[in-house]
Each structure stands twice: as C-alpha cells, then as structure tokens.
Chain A
C-alpha cells in the first residue's frame, strides 16, 4: 500500500459509501505553483493523473515513513483580504512548500464541526489532520525547508483545535474593513458562502438557515474577528489588508522566522504587483478600496455595522495597542 502511494498527495477528504477517507492523486513531478492547491489539482487532473480512495489508516503508516517538513507558519483570514497575496509571497521563499486552501486540510478541519460529535472523533480527526499535513508536506525534492499553510476562512473558527495539534506554530490573521469584505463577497460569492450545507457556518454564527447573504457574510466575518481578538497572543500576528505592502509582508515572513534574501524580496515585490488569485500571474493588481466602499449598498452597510463593526473596531484597537503607529 505505501509503496503504491509514493508520489501521491491527498487532494480531498471525502466519504465513499459511508466510509470517511481521502482521495489521492498521483502527483509526481507536479509543482505546487498555483495560488490555490486545488488549481494545481485541476491542472494535474487535465493530465489524466490517477486518483484513488483510501481510508485514513494509511496516513498513520505514511507518517512513520515519509520525511516531511514541519509547519513554519499558518495563514488565516476573514476572506478577500490579501491572504493569497501573502501565500504567494511565501511561495517566493526558496525551498518552501505552500499549501493554499488545500481541500484535504480544510475538509478535515470542517469535520471537527460536522462530524466530531464525540471525543473519539475529535481526537481521531486531530491525528488525521496532522497526518494529512504530513503527507502533503512530504519532501518531494529533498530540498524543502519551509511549510506555509493557508487555511480557508471558515477554518479559523477551529483555531483552538488546530493550535492543540501545532501549539508552537506562529499564525497570521489577515482581515479587512467589513464593508469592503462583504462587497467583495457579494460581487463574486465564494463557495463557503453559497454552500447549501450550513453546518459549518451555523457552528460559527449560530442558526444560519434564514438570512440574506449580506447578513450571513457580515455575521461570519464578525465572528472571525472576535475569534482573532480573543485568541491573539505572542505567537500570533494580526494584519489589516490596508497595511499590506512589501515591507510588511517581509515582516510577516520574519515573524515566521524566515530570513529573506534580496532575490526573494525582489520576487515578492514582483508578485505583489499582479492579481494574486490568477494562476497565470499576468493580470495586474488594482487597488480597489474606494471602489468597494462606493459599491456598498445600504443593506451591506447595515449588516456590516450590526454584526462586524464592533469586533472590527476591537481588533483594530488591539492591533494599535500592540503596534502603535
């Protein structure tokens, strides 16, 4: 079994015929260069790469036998606030692995919410989450030294459980003015907001069954802000989208204990000029703060203020206290 999985990576956590497990894809020689892990998977899928299902047990064997990179830093965010830009900057660091919103990781984190209805499952899923990260972070070229994981936004709600698995890994939380965040999400609604299975969102905001998308989004990001405010400590860094710049991104990497060379810094500067989420890396980045504010409807402003305004201000005050201008 293990020899069979040489060169394979877990690409999703799924349930097949009632049995939870992992979908794997044969990814020998496939570099994880796209802004999102699933974009890389789609590219590999077009090459007709083999895929297969296994139960989770196999992770426990792989953990013993695969050499892997321990996490260097975690990137959390409240959606549409520059986290992909930071992840791309991490990719500019030599010998780094960047796992950006990998389904296998975030689906397992979501299982804490949807499945972990007893201590057995929570304990198991913690072990499996560590195993999935170990498998994804395997040294495929023997030179990898750094592992950066960018989680999907809803995974931040499970920060305490994630920290129990990796208590010493420094983490970054990126956030943005809630009006701008909601406008961005309304213009192009992401899967986490459109998911018909509301169990994950309900775990974050309470009953999520009957409300507008604006309210759903506002309540979710407000809750994520509150989580950041509550759990921020010396091992964390809070960063507003409006502060993002090449020097600030460099300071994030310093916070992750990564020393940048001048070549790496130059690469980061270059990548920050293009639209971060496009795989081709050719579309120019255009600052859109003013545009987002102008596009905000009355409903967006009302929901933003009601559900996310106060948590946002608390977060800003905390950041200003810790890092006074």
Chain B
C-alpha cells in the first residue's frame, strides 16, 4: 500500500497546521458547516495559549511545520488574538487566518504590531454587492470587508478571498473574480458547499454536472487572471496518481479548539455529524510527535479506502469523486445521507 502521507508533495506546499482559535462566530451563515451548537449555543471556548506555545515547538520538531493558519469559528474573537500572533512570531513561524472581516478594524493594530509573522489574511465573501453579501452576513458586513481589503492592500499585506459557490452565485463567477482583482486580492479560492442537510444540499449545493461546469469556468479564470484562482474544497478529483488534497498528502493538519489533532479543518466540528473518526489524538495529553504518527496512519488508510471506492465504481458519483464528500461520508459527518 502506497504511503502517500510520508511523501512531500510540492504542489501542496510546506507542512502546516490549522488551529481553531475559537468555537464561536459572530455571524450566522445558514450554509456554514461548523456545528451550530458550537458556534452559537455552547459557551465560548478559546484555544489555550500555553498549548499553542507547546504545539508550535513540537510540530516544528516532529513535522517541520512552520506555517500556521488560524480558523474557527471566527479567530479574531479570541480575546488574546494579538498574543497568538506574537507567539507564532516568537517561534519563528508565520501565520495566516480566515476571517469574516467584521472585527478587522479591532485587530488591525495587532496585525501591524506583528506584521512580520503574518503571511496573509483570507476573507470570506458572499457576494460582490453590498446587498448580496449583507443578505447572508448582516448589514454593514460588506462595508467592513471592503475597508479591510483596503487596509491590507494599502499596507501591502497580501490577502485572499474565499467564497462558497452557492447555487445563486454560480452564474457570477467571473464577476467575483473581477471584484476580487479590483480589490487587489492576491488569491481567490472557491469552495463548494459542504452540505449539512438535504435542505442545504437542495437549496445551495450544486449537483455534480453543475460542479463540473463551475470548475471548468474557474479553470478558465485561473488561466486569465494573474491573481491566484483555485478551488479549495469539494472539487471533483479522481486522479489516483497523487493524493487529492493537502491533508491526505500529510501536508496539512487540523487542531480543533479543544486541542485535538484531526485530519482536516473541513471535517472538524461538522454540523450534524454522527461521529468523530477523523480525530486522532488529544494534544492536551499527548505529544504532537506521537499524534502525528497516528495522523499519517489515518491519512494513508483513508487514501486507500478512497482508492478502493473509486475502483468499485465505473463512474464515480459526487460522494466518491469529490474527496471532501468522500471523507464527509466515510467519517460519519453526513448521517442523513446513505452510508456506503
């Protein structure tokens, strides 16, 4: 059995860690795949700073990790966000984070103070007009986002835009690219909807044929724009010669807000999930080095499982052809969907 996870795959870049700084979010996006109980109902939990300090050192020693990406919930809600940046900088690593931009003005001084540590910022977008974006993210959200774009652009802090390809946005892909380029974004990453129920799948997600058309259009955009354009999540990929994504290549790992190492940030805390088979270790009580070995074993086994599934189907459907959907299904994240 090929052990992909022990190989460095240049296409996926250097090894990196996603760290969920917070379980909560200030916005309520209906298509979000994070558990709504964590986001809105449970008490707020924030990633402990002591654990962050320890894991940065251990991850560098065990897996040569020097790049960290903060996610959430909304990472800027961490009450000691500035300190998290300082910890990364002091460790000689770099950090990026994904944000809805709502609190960007508040954390801007912290970003300036730790500028050398921050590689880039990724902003979530929901439409290229105030009306479209604010419909999903609340009044004033679009203006805050544009202000944040301007801050970054004027300060030469590279920023990217992430956008979920909902059904109502699929005919605006080029407008989204134009908007992002106009704002000065360095990258534009499209994300397919990760369905959390049949209702979300029916209302917002594209079917396989629609996804393929969207992916072809995105490939055209990627060829035309200098801005880096791609699909981060949910793409259809049945190429078995290489791992289909950074986590299964052993390049990207996730640590949830409780300090547990898991396979992928897109599986973690999934809304409506029945199981947590993607969680490999509790780093509060286990070293990163030991957990990383379990991670590699899981990634390798999952790769093989998908290979077997692909081999069993003459024409892979969306739940097998898309690596993300395959993992959601096989790790028990979408129990409302028939299992294999």
- B225 to A55, Cβ gap below 8 A? yes
Q: What residues of chain A lie closer than 8 Å to B223, measured between beta carbons? A: 18-20
The interface bits of chain A over 93-127 (1 if a CB of B lies within 8 angstroms of the residue's CB, else 0) are 00000000000000000000000001111011001
* B220 CB-CB contact with A under 8 Å: yes
Does A120 lie within 8 Å of B173, measured CB to CB?
yes
- CB neighbours of A19 from chain B (8 A): 223-224
Closest A residue by C-beta to B216 = A118
Contacts of B173 in A (CB 8 A): 120
| Residue pair B174, A124 in contact (C-beta under 8 Å) | yes
Q: Are A60 and B178 in contact (CB under 8 A)?
A: yes
Report A1-46 residues with CB < 8 Å from chain B CB.
18-21
Q: Which of A21, A55, A58, A118 contacts B220 (CB 8 A)?
A: A118
Number of interface residues of A (CB under 8 A): 20
Residues in B neighbouring A18, C-beta threshold 8 A: 223
Of B220, B223, B224, B227, most buried by chain A (CB within 10 Å of CB) is: B224
Instruction: Report B151-195 residues with CB < 8 Å from chain A CB.
Output: 171, 173-175, 177-178, 181-182, 184
Which residues of A (153-171) have their CB < 8 Å from a CB of B?
Answer: none
Give the contact-size bracket for chain B. Answer: 10 to 19
In contact, B217 and A127 (Cβ under 8 angstroms): no
Does B339 count as interface, using CB distance less than 8 angstroms?
no
Q: Are B226 and A57 in contact (CB under 8 A)?
A: yes
Asked, given contacts A56-B224, A57-B225, A58-B226, whether A118 binds B217 with beta carbons under 8 Å apart, the answer is yes
Task: Name B225-252 residues within 8 Å CB distance of A.
Answer: 225-227
A230 within 8 A of B: no
Measured in the bound complex, the distance between the Cα atoms of B171 and A120 in whole Å is 9
Distance in angstroms from A60 CB to nearest chain B CB is 4
Q: Is the CB of A56 within 8 A of B225?
A: yes
Q: How many Å from the CB of A160 to the closest CB on chain B?
A: 19
Q: Mark A114-142, 1 if CB is under 8 A from B, else 0.
A: 00001111011001000000000000000
- A19, B226: Cα distance in complex, Å: 9
- Are A20 and B220 in contact, with the CB atoms below 8 A? no
**Residue among A20, A21, A57, A123 making CB contact with B181, cutoff 8 Å:** A57
Tell me the A44-101 residues at the B interface (CB within 8 Å): 54-58, 60-61, 63-64
* Residue on B nearest A55 in the bound complex, by CB: B226
Tell me which residues from 49 to 74 in chain B have a Cβ below 8 Å from any Cβ of chain A: none
| B215 vs chain A, min Cβ distance (A) | 12
Partner of B178, one of A20, A118, A124: A124
Task: Specify which chain B residues have a CB less than 8 angstroms from the CB of A120 in the assembled complex.
Answer: 173-174, 217, 220-221
Q: Map CB proximity to B onto A266-290 as digits: 1 under 8 Å, 0 otherwise.
A: 0000000000000000000000000
Q: Pick the contact of A124 from B171, B182, B224 — CB < 8 Å?
A: B224
Q: A residues within 8 A CB of B217? A: 118, 120
Tell me how far the C-beta of A186 lies from the nearest C-beta in chain B, rounded to whole angstroms.
Answer: 39
Q: Tell me which residues across on chain A come within 8 A of B182, comparing CB atoms.
A: 60-61, 63-64
Residues of A within 8 A of B171 (CB): 119
Query: How many Å lie between the Cα of A118 and that of B175 in the bound state?
Result: 14
B163 vs chain A, min Cβ distance (A) = 15
Q: Please, which residues of chain A bring their CB within 8 A of the CB of B178? A: 60, 124, 127
Residues of B within 8 A of A58 (CB): 226
Chain A residues whose C-beta falls within 8 Å of the C-beta of B224 in the assembled complex: 19-20, 55-56, 121, 124
Assembled-state Cα–Cα distance A56/B227 (Å): 10
Q: How far is the CB of B136 from chain A (nearest CB, A)?
A: 23
Report the minimum CB–CB distance from B147 to chain A (whole Å): 15
Question: Shortest beta-carbon distance, B82 to chain A, in Å?
Answer: 31
Q: Give the Cβ gap from B129 to chain A, nearest Cβ, in Å.
A: 16
Bound Cα distance from A101 to B225, whole angstroms: 25
Distance of B314 from chain A, by nearest CB (Å): 29
Q: How far is B153's CA from A61's CA once the two chains are assembled, in angstroms?
A: 11
A93 to chain B, nearest CB (A): 32
Query: In the complex the two chains form, is A57's CB within 8 Å of B227's CB?
Result: yes
20 CB < 8 A contacts A-B: A18-B223, A20-B224, A21-B226, A54-B226, A55-B224, A56-B224, A56-B225, A57-B181, A57-B225, A57-B227, A58-B226, A60-B178, A60-B181, A61-B184, A63-B182, A120-B221, A123-B174, A124-B177, A124-B221, A127-B178
Q: A63-B182, A118-B220, A120-B220 are in contact. List 17 more A-B contacts (CB 8 A).
A: A18-B223, A19-B224, A55-B226, A56-B224, A56-B225, A56-B226, A57-B227, A58-B226, A61-B182, A61-B184, A120-B174, A120-B217, A120-B221, A121-B220, A124-B177, A124-B178, A124-B221
